[in-house]
Every structure is written in C-alpha cells, then in structure tokens.
Amino acid sequence: MAGTESREARVRSARRVRLPKGFADAIGSRVASAAKADGTDQFLSHRSHLTSSRHRHRHPQEQDLKSPVNPSAMAQRVTLRKRQPYNTTSSRRRVVKTPGGKLVYHHIQKLATSPKCGDCGVGLPGIPALRPREYAQISKRQKTVRRAYGGSRCGDCVKSRILRAFLVEEAKIVKKVIKSQQSARK
C-alpha cells in the first residue's frame, strides 16, 4: 500500500511541476503505465495537461528554451565604421546589404538646406541647396542672383524695400514743402 501511495504522490507532483515538452510525454506515459499496473488509473483521468503545450501557461524564459536554435537564422553582426557610437544628427547610419550579401553601415550625410531670405525666411530660388563645403567649391555666379540684394533677399522683399524707400523719401519731401509753406506764411 505504501508503494501505491508514493506513485499517487508522484502523479500529483507530475501534474504540478512544469516540465519541458519531451519530458512531460515521457513521464506521463511511464506514470500512466505504472498506474494501470497498480490500478490507480483514477489520478490520470485528466492527463492531457502533461502532453498538450497549447493550454498550459509558460514562463517566457521556458518558452525561449524550447524554440530550436538555428545558427543560420541569427542576426548578422554589423560593425561601426567610425569611432562615434551614438545616433546623433551628425552620425546617422543605415544598414545596407552589399552585393556579396554582407550587411554594412552606410553613414548618412546631413541634408543640405537652401539659403533663406533674411526678411521673410523663404528659400531663395535660383540658388542650389548644398552643404557649406560645397558652397566654397562653386563659383560666385552660382551662389547669387544678378539683382540688388541677390542671394540675400527674395524678389518680393526687394520690391517691398524699394517701395518703402520711395515712400519714405516722398514723405520727407512733403514734410519739407509743408515746412517751407508755413515759414512763408509767417
């Protein structure tokens, strides 16, 4: 009788312990055969939890151990080309696959911005958007527009400046005329 109780205890403990898939099948079949021999089959009426892994709660680490490790499916390592490891604006990179199937980092240059109008902030038409070093290498003709304030202000702002200057000069002339008329009356 003592031997049967120990087997019953083993069956109960086998239900409570989480075992990997292969072990659960092996232990379940051994316990079932031992229970049938002893006549203690009543404890194995719900044996499905030992074999089915679908309904059983798994610990995340336990699940990772069960997944087959395929060395060819591992992520390929990519080494940095520069000594700066942080993803800053001046050191951004993209993973590119070479024709040989190797993954390498390509460092991305900053985007070039076109010069802006000093008054309204609109990009100046007719002047290319380049990095500062490239501006030093092109001719003056390509960096400016042949007009007053060319390469510094846009056409609309130059137009408004000309109008404003003309109106200011006209206002000065009108003030002088009024002043001279008032002095002539006295």
Q: Are residues 106 and 134 in the same domain?
A: no
How many other C-beta atoms can be found within 10 angstroms of the C-beta atom of residue 28? 20
More confident: 103 or 30: 103
Query: DSSP letters of 83-128?
Result: S--S--TTSEEEEEE-TTS-EEEEEEPPPPB--B-TTT-PBPTTS-
When divided into structural domains, the chain yields a total of 2
| pLDDT, tens only, 69-115 | 666 677 889 999 999 999 999 999 999 999 999 999 999 999 999 99
Q: Are residues 95 and 117 in the same domain?
A: no
pLDDT at 179 over 90: yes
Q: Are residues 158 and 106 in the same domain?
A: no
Q: Is 135 within the bounds of a domain?
A: yes
At residue 159, the pLDDT reads 96
Q: Are residues 140 and 120 in the same domain?
A: yes
Q: Are residues 92 and 129 in the same domain?
A: no
Q: Are residues 106 and 148 in the same domain?
A: no
Assign 185 a pLDDT band (cuts: 50, 70, 90): confident
Q: Are residues 100 and 153 in the same domain?
A: no
Which domain range does residue 89 map to? Answer: 77-110
